[in-house]
Amino acid sequence: MELLAYIVCTLCLPLFPLSMGVSYALGKLRGLRTIAFLLLPLAGFFFLGFIEKPPSAVLYISLFTSLLYAFRAVSAESLSRWGIYIFVSAVSLLWLHPSGEKSILGLFYALPFVLLSLSERLIAVRFGSSDLRLVRGIGLGAPKLGFITTLSILGVIGVPTSTTFVEFLNLLEARDFFRSLILSGVWFFWGWSGVKVLSSIVFGSPREDLSYEDLNLRGSLVLIVLSAFVFGAGYVFFEVLSYLLGWRGEL
Amino acid sequence: MRLEEGKKLFIRSLITVAGEVIPFFWPMRNFIHHNPLYGLERLPFKEAVKLGSRLFHARGYLSREAYRRFLERGDIKKELLIKHLREFLKERNFEREQYERLLSTLMMEADLKPSLNLYLNCKCPTAKEIAKHLEEEIDPAEEVKKLSQKLGREMTLYDFIDQTFGTRIGETLNELMARNCAEFLDEGQAVWGMPFRERGFYKAWREVAKRSRRLKLKGCCGLENVLESCEEPEEAVAFALGAMGIPEDLWDEYVTTELSKLHGWTGFIRWRSNTKDYYWQIKHPADLVDYLAIRLLLALSLLREEEKNLPFTPELSSIREFIEKNPEGVLIRKDYFSGKVPPHLAQEVYESIELDRLNSISRRYFEEKKKAEALSTASFITQLWKEAGLEEEKLLSMDKAELLELGKLLRDFEEEEGYIWLKAHEDTLIERLVAGIEAETPDTEDRPFAQALFCIDVRSERFRRNLENLGRYETYGIAGFFGVPISFIELGKGHETHLCPVLIKPKNVVLELHKDLKEEKENLYEVVKEIIHDLKYNVFTPYITVEAIGLLFGFDMIGKTFFPLGYGAFRHRLANHKPPSKLMIDKPTKEYVLEVIGILQREIISRAVKNHLGKEEVPERILEALRKLALEEERNLEGVAREMNLSTQELENFIETLRRDYRIERGYTRIQIEKLAKIGFTLEEQVFFVERALHSIGLTKNFGKLVLVIGHGSRSENNPYESALDCGACGGDHGAVNAKVFAMMANKKEVRERLREKGIDIPEDTLFVACEHNTTTDEVEFFDLDQIPATHLPFIQKAMEDLKEAGKKTALERCMELGNDCKDPERAFVEVRKNSLDWTQVRPEWGLSGNYAFIIGGRHLTRRLNLEGKAFLHSYDWRIDPKGYMLEIILSGPLVVGEWINMEHYFSAVDNEHYGSGSKVYHNVVGRIGVMSGNLSDLRTGLPAQTVLKGKHPHHNPVRLITVVEAPLGRVKKVISGIGKIRELVQNHWINLIVFDPEERKFYRYLEGRWVSPSYEEVSQ
């Protein structure tokens, strides 16, 4: 079982160099990417529970993978590519959770990426691409869509009180200086790349030769509810749930 | 690299000429409104706007949405818009009604534009059908030929590389240049200044660059060797242009393009280098040659650093060769990196660029692009056709030629649309204005209570109207310096300020002196203020004094934020007020000048004797003797030496010291005499200025008891643009001094005697009184009240009350326009005062925003019109100016200034980001000369958003100045033909000129090279 768990986790919580294949596959999976963003962490986290204690080499590779993809995200040319790099960077960190964790945590991890993927799809459908050079000024041109995109990007890079933020805090252990240093570097690159993406795609003047079709009210409401889960659930829900299920002290 | 002098001169003059399209930028301390396309006024307006768009990447007209708002508000009449649209269609032989319906729908109703969103465009079957006919083959070879021709002219090498390889050389270069400019051109704001600045811009930068790690970090490589070999800026320019392979015949265009990249900084450097007596230019000289040398060397260095990533050498012929050999690749790259690729092709293009496989996708790319563009146009046409209510069958029945023609029409229309809206807008305002003008010249002999001379500034119009409604006041408009150009030396200041339009250089100096010669003692408040000011600029202050004095700043901040009125009054009470002073306006006689110099020199010698010879209490006659010896007016050395108990040699040495160190010598004394001779005005000059001013406004008889000479200024807190609200005719300063000087001249008995001989009889009981209108608070301050004779005190009292009343009514109008809480004039008066004291207020007043007309003629023309404070009003009486001399003065001076103000507002409103200075929220004052946006950017020129926009919509009506002149048509034509500048402005359509001929009682308008009547029948040429 542990062997199977290792195989599944290596695919779902990709480590370098297998992360290259996962990243490529996610790039090709345009329509199904949202589902992949949801299922991969869930599955990975579930199977991680069957691994007693991953060797330290694995943990160091996970830190390295996370840092590498966070750095790559800074030069991403499109929102979709950026989302993929941050996703790989984030899920590779799940190896750092001690064994015995419940897979529901994977859901919290996945939520911001699901929201991001949905935003990205909405942009790609409307404009044909989410390339940062070509699509800009969504904030002015399609304000509701711009708002949701902003929330999704902020959620993914771990802005309080998103689920990513809470997870990150839990991962930072004061006693392990080296690990904290790497994780701080990862978070720094997430922030930097996220702001770059925001300033390209959301801010700035809309292009004159593109039409900016905004979300309808129903679509916006669904996504706002999801955003509320990403941010509101991040802290409150997690704390309540972990108290109810007796998880405190295990992180 | 050494250049011959001839070559250096050639480079210098080439750069000077190439830089002429860049408008001057005056330091913000004396903000001067100017046309940002001033250098292009030799071209017709439309062409200049097009060229300006290319040079400054700016829009020349408002967006369609903005014009539609004017249409909805009634500021543009639909009929006039349709009229101009028909003219457009007629010029292109598209006179069928369906095209008019199509375009008018687009302009006034439809919310459509061509867009490359494939998923939207594909929804329409009709569009797909006609798209097939609209496909136009893209010929990469032809396209790149155009690109190759632009390269080295309107496109720099790094522009090309940035656009085709996604680099950011241009951005890095601009950042470096902005930093260099901010550091060098600082005028006392920085605590630590750039070293070596006295050597000049290029030489100082060269010294610093040799040691600069920052340049290496930014990617500038290989600079050291170049800097060693290029000592002079001309050498650097020649070297860099040569290294980039730019042939000499393209240098002028290339240089213009380079200079336009940061036109704020270049405009300021250009102004500085043309102002030889500017203190900072003398201290730290800089000119465009220096600027360009630095810019080109940095550009070259960045290009060389990038070379390793490029498939060619970054030099013109090599790049052209690359373009010729790879036309498809170049075009695709350019489309991608400049953001023009159809988005659905973006991913594929990106991957091909990464893998260097553009050739494999090029054919497909151009095919797809052709289809996408055709579908975009087709979709747009189909939707527009439908919205215009036209039958779809007609569209489907069009053949390919007709559809292509229609496509071309729409493209032409896109370029022309802004101008059509503009003309309609102007015509609407002209119609309204002309309809309201009163043609009858009144004939009244009643003596008015008072005349009031105001500046022609648009803000005066409200005040004048409200004042006239209160009693027997006649108001006049005249340029705010009252025709008297002054160089002013304020009490306690050591420098001259020019109080006149920037186009004039004043010849006369006016000194401000203490009235009662009492020694000034600084009060405690001023001492504390100075200490705190010094502390603020000390680098150690934050570490040491925050706990100690931080609370003081907090107290100040809370006071001026929450209680601006009360706290402002408190500060005013504490502040040291200027002591009573008087102005010296009479020219001193030669004897007086020599006497003053003699007193000064004797005082200096007395101190020198004490310092060098240790003698105190030297008799006056000895000092005079020493003075004469120093000035070589006396040779009796032995006698003086004996009296002073010195040897002849010792005395000789001392005399030499006086000449060398204390400048007591003939040459310098002559200079002092010349400078002092500039002080004041001769009687003839005073008569000349007063006569000219009164004549120009038609005030030559029927003077009231009072003639109020009302200059203007503004008051606001924390406002770098404060000077923009002051009097432009006074060089961006307050008009009080000019008003005082004019009033003093006009009150002099001798002046009035001479004026009487010239036919201007000012009664003895007429008193000229100087005042200043504060345009932010609408208060009027009177000056020199101690000079008022007792007989006139009741009149002054009445005038003060009336002016206060008029001020309140004016404040109410302005308050409502500002959107403040103002129920009545009293409340409004308080609100506007609060605005002026509120440091958080980004809009203390609207200023000249909304200006659209300039009316030259009698007040009767506009007396019954409410021009809402948006018209310049210059008084003029054609009846007393048979030869047109006064008209010439008005047209060549105030009208040009009015046009500058109008064009500055126009361009700042139509494109505030590029022609204006953007939002004040992001402004940072730099070097005490201007503002940047953020921490580093080009110097922002133009007006801020808060001055011309309300939210995101224009508050200012951007139209070309509508100038109405009341004079016989023949006279106007003659005058215009004699003034080159005005002829240029009129013939190139920078202003709309209307003449009201009072003899024929008809209006004429200059339109497209001929004079027409308002019904647009040609009347004369």
Summarize pLDDT for B268-293 with one digit per residue, the tens.
Answer: 999 999 988 888 999 999 999 999 99
Please determine, for residue A102, whether its predicted confidence score (pLDDT) is greater than 60: no
In a domain, B644, yes or no: yes
Alpha carbons within 13 angstroms on the beta-carbon side of residue B242 total 9
Q: Which residue of A has its CA nearest to B354?
A: A77
Using the Cβ of A35 and the Cβ atoms of chain B, whether some distance falls under 8 Å is answered with no
Please determine, for residue A249, whether its predicted confidence score (pLDDT) is greater than 70: no
Q: Which residue of A has its CA nearest to B351?
A: A77
Question: What pLDDT does residue B206 have?
Answer: 92
List chain B residues with CB under 8 Å of A141: none
Looking at CA atoms only, how far is residue A44 from chain B in angstroms?
A: 30
Sign of the Cα pseudo-torsion (B394, B399, B404, B409, in order): negative
Percentage of residues in chain B with pLDDT exceeding 70? 94
Assign B221 a pLDDT band (cuts: 50, 70, 90): low
Q: Which residue of A has its CA nearest to B112?
A: A211
Of B118, B120, B341, the CB nearest to A134: B341
Please determine, for residue B219, whether its predicted confidence score (pLDDT) is greater than 70: no
Question: What pLDDT does residue B121 have?
Answer: 66
Of A78, A126, A131, the CB nearest to B117: A126
Mean pLDDT of A102-115: 75
Using the Cβ of A28 and the Cβ atoms of chain B, whether some distance falls under 8 Å is answered with no
Are residues B350 and A77, on separate chains, in Cβ contact within 8 Å? yes
Using the Cβ of A134 and the Cβ atoms of chain B, whether some distance falls under 8 Å is answered with yes
How far apart are the C-alpha atoms of B856 and B962, rounded to whole Å? 11
Are residues B113 and A77, on separate chains, in Cβ contact within 8 Å? no
- Between B820 and A247, name the one with better pLDDT: B820
Are residues B116 and A131, on separate chains, in Cβ contact within 8 Å? no
Of B114, B340, B343, the CB nearest to A128: B343
Assign B1017 a pLDDT band (cuts: 50, 70, 90): very low
Sign of the Cα pseudo-torsion (B914, B919, B922, B925, in order): positive
Using the Cβ of A82 and the Cβ atoms of chain B, whether some distance falls under 8 Å is answered with no
Picking from A125, A136, A211, A213 by the largest number of B CB atoms within 10 A of its own CB, the best residue to mutate is A211
List chain A residues with CB under 8 Å of B114: 209
Looking at CA atoms only, how far is residue B266 from chain A in angstroms?
A: 26
What's the whole-model pTM score? 0.87
Question: What pLDDT does residue B741 have?
Answer: 96
Picking from A30, A33, A123, A127 by the largest number of B CB atoms within 10 A of its own CB, the best residue to mutate is A127
Please determine, for residue B875, whether its predicted confidence score (pLDDT) is greater than 70: yes
Picking from B61, B118, B119 by the largest number of A CB atoms within 10 A of its own CB, the best residue to mutate is B119
CB B25, CB B941: distance < 8 Å: yes
Looking at CA atoms only, how far is residue B407 from chain A in angstroms?
A: 16
Looking at CA atoms only, how far is residue B415 from chain A in angstroms?
A: 14
Q: Which residue of A has its CA nearest to B121?
A: A211
Q: Which residue of B has its CA nearest to A211?
A: B115
Asked which of A126-130, A241-245, B254-258, B1007-1011 is least confident by mean pLDDT, the reply is: A241-245
In a domain, B108, yes or no: no
Domains contained in chain A, number: 1
Interface of B with A (CB under 8 A): 113-120, 166, 336-337, 339-347, 350, 376
Domains contained in chain B, number: 1
Which residue, chain included where needed, has tokens 């650097």?
B236
Q: What is the mean pLDDT of chain B?
A: 89
Residue (of B893, B891, B948) closest to B916 by Cα position:
B948
Please, what is the end-to-end C-alpha distance for chain B in angstroms?
A: 59
List chain B residues with CB under 8 Å of A131: 341, 343, 346-347, 350
Question: What pLDDT does residue B546 have?
Answer: 64
Using the Cβ of A135 and the Cβ atoms of chain B, whether some distance falls under 8 Å is answered with yes
Asked which of A214-223, B553-562, B808-817, B984-993 is least confident by mean pLDDT, the reply is: B553-562
Mean pLDDT of B78-100: 90
Q: What is the largest CA-CA distance in chain A?
A: 57
Sign of the Cα pseudo-torsion (B11, B12, B17, B19, in order): positive
CA-CA distances (angstroms) from residue A171 to A187, A246, B388? Answer: 11, 19, 62
Please determine, for residue B333, whether its predicted confidence score (pLDDT) is greater than 90: yes
Domain limits at B615? 516-578+588-676
List chain B residues with CB under 8 Å of A126: 117, 119-120
DSSP conformation letters of B952-1019: TEESS-----EEEEES-HHHHHHHHHH-HHHHHHHHTTSSEEEEEETTTTEEEEEETTEEE-TT--EE
Picking from A209, A212, A213, A214 by the largest number of B CB atoms within 10 A of its own CB, the best residue to mutate is A209
Are residues B120 and A213, on separate chains, in Cβ contact within 8 Å? yes
Please determine, for residue B553, whether its predicted confidence score (pLDDT) is greater than 80: no
Of A129, A208, A213, the CB nearest to B346: A129
Picking from B123, B165, B347 by the largest number of A CB atoms within 10 A of its own CB, the best residue to mutate is B347
Cis omega (within 30 of 0) for bond into B314? no
Structural element, H or E, at residue B769: strand B767-774
Assign B317 a pLDDT band (cuts: 50, 70, 90): very high
How far apart are the C-alpha atoms of A94 and A104, rounded to whole Å? 13
Write out pLDDT tens, residues B105-129: 999 998 888 877 776 666 778 888 8
Token pair listed for B764:
């003895």
Are residues A135 and B116, on separate chains, in Cβ contact within 8 Å? no
Are residues A128 and B341, on separate chains, in Cβ contact within 8 Å? no
Interface size between A and B, measured as CB pairs under 8 A: 59
Are residues B350 and A131, on separate chains, in Cβ contact within 8 Å? yes
Asked which of B162-166, B203-207, B358-362, B413-417 is least confident by mean pLDDT, the reply is: B358-362
List chain A residues with CB under 8 Å of B119: 125-126, 128
Mean pLDDT of B866-881: 95
Using the Cβ of A78 and the Cβ atoms of chain B, whether some distance falls under 8 Å is answered with yes
Are residues A211 and B342, on separate chains, in Cβ contact within 8 Å? no
Domain limits at A173? 2-250
Using the Cβ of A128 and the Cβ atoms of chain B, whether some distance falls under 8 Å is answered with yes
In a domain, B171, yes or no: no
Token pair listed for A82:
């950026």
How far apart are the C-alpha atoms of B519 and B462, rounded to whole Å? 43
How far apart are the C-alpha atoms of A115 and A136, rounded to whole Å? 19
Write out pLDDT tens, residues A49-72: 788 778 888 889 999 999 999 999
Mean pLDDT of A181-187: 92
Write out pLDDT tens, residues B968-1005: 999 999 999 999 999 999 999 999 999 999 998 899 99
Are residues A134 and B343, on separate chains, in Cβ contact within 8 Å? yes
Question: What pLDDT does residue B518 have?
Answer: 53
Sign of the Cα pseudo-torsion (B79, B81, B87, B93, in order): negative
Question: What pLDDT does residue B537 have?
Answer: 64
Question: What pLDDT does residue A4 have?
Answer: 83
The most confident of the ranges A208-222, B652-666, B792-806 is B792-806
Distance of CA A148 to the CA centre of its chain: 15
Of B117, B345, B347, the CB nearest to A210: B117
> What is the DSSP secondary structure assignment for residue B935, as one 8-state letter?
T
- Between B294 and B112, name the one with better pLDDT: B294
β partners of residue B768: B707
List chain A residues with CB under 8 Å of B918: none
List chain B residues with CB under 8 Å of A128: 116-119, 342-346
Please determine, for residue B914, whether its predicted confidence score (pLDDT) is greater than 60: yes
List chain A residues with CB under 8 Å of B116: 128, 209-210
Write out pLDDT tens, residues B832-858: 998 898 898 999 999 999 999 999 999
Please determine, for residue B521, whether its predicted confidence score (pLDDT) is greater than 60: no
Are residues B343 and A213, on separate chains, in Cβ contact within 8 Å? no
Amino acid at B603: E
Write out pLDDT tens, residues B238-264: 999 999 999 999 999 999 999 999 999
